[in-house]
Structure 1
């Protein structure tokens, strides 16, 4: 299979908390499995709120605690993303509504838009935004992302 055939874009509201965590977790899992070169991995926002920002410092601290490096600058989902990414995985119903609305207007949409939580073996469909919470909320997001990304990777390997 050609490397460009496997691609995933993780999406949340601002692209500074949940989606960059999911992106970094998935990249680490794919690296550990020896398949990272077969994937195009990125994350983006549905909103314009945080464009150009680094991931939230609490998310970065959580990831460091788990030995995962993050290097991402927030960006918004583009129409091209719907044509170039095979999978667009988002965090909650609001993200899903926004993405489905955008996908219906995008030319050459080939993306399968879904909730990342649909892969959770614990059946927690929604990955709640930790922005207004504390360190424990970022840890919860991390744990959910690990479970979901593992299941997604297994299904798509």
Structure 2
């Protein structure tokens, strides 16, 4: 499931923070979106928000669904697992210009899949997601020479 209240808003916030730290935030448009509409308009999961607050990473998003226009308006669209990637590729219009990739592809520790912590009892899964997104976003920016 991908409802835009756990992994993707964490990745969005971490990515925006990484750009801010590199002094290029104003040159990028960063957003996150869901593959399902069951949480549209809702803020991220309280545990995701708590994790970002703990790390002093601003998080300001409301869940929305992926739009066809996203595939032309964004250069990269990242999924968190193979199911996300498959569904994104199915949704992509023929004139899509976005590169669709697993964010975990950039994890220097090799953890390819960013597991959804939604059904976890505590906060540890959200912390794990944060740490992986932190590694992946930094490594992605390094890979395209954003210093």
Which stretches of structure 1, 4 residues or longer, exceed 4 Å deviation after superposition? none
Gaps of at least 5 residues in structure 1 are: 1-11
Gaps of at least 5 residues in structure 2 are: none
Shift of 1:108: 2.1
Which structure features the higher share of strand residues?
1
Deviations 1:109-150 (A, max 9, x none): 000001000000011000000001120000000000000000
* Distance in 2 of aligned mates of 1:109 and 1:85: 9
- Of residues 68, 87, 98, the one that matches 1:79 is 68
Shift of 1:55: 0.4
* Distance in 1 of aligned mates of 2:73 and 2:50: 31
Deviations 1:3-34 (A, max 9, x none): xxxxxxxxx70100000000000111100110
Deviations 1:74-104 (A, max 9, x none): 000000000111000110111111001011x
- Of residues 126, 134, 139, the one that matches 1:146 is 134
1:117–1:148 CA contact under 8 A, matched in 2 = yes
* Distance in 2 of aligned mates of 1:96 and 1:46: 10
Shift of 1:35: 0.7
Aligned residue for 1:47? 36
- How many residue pairs are counted as aligned between the two chains? 144
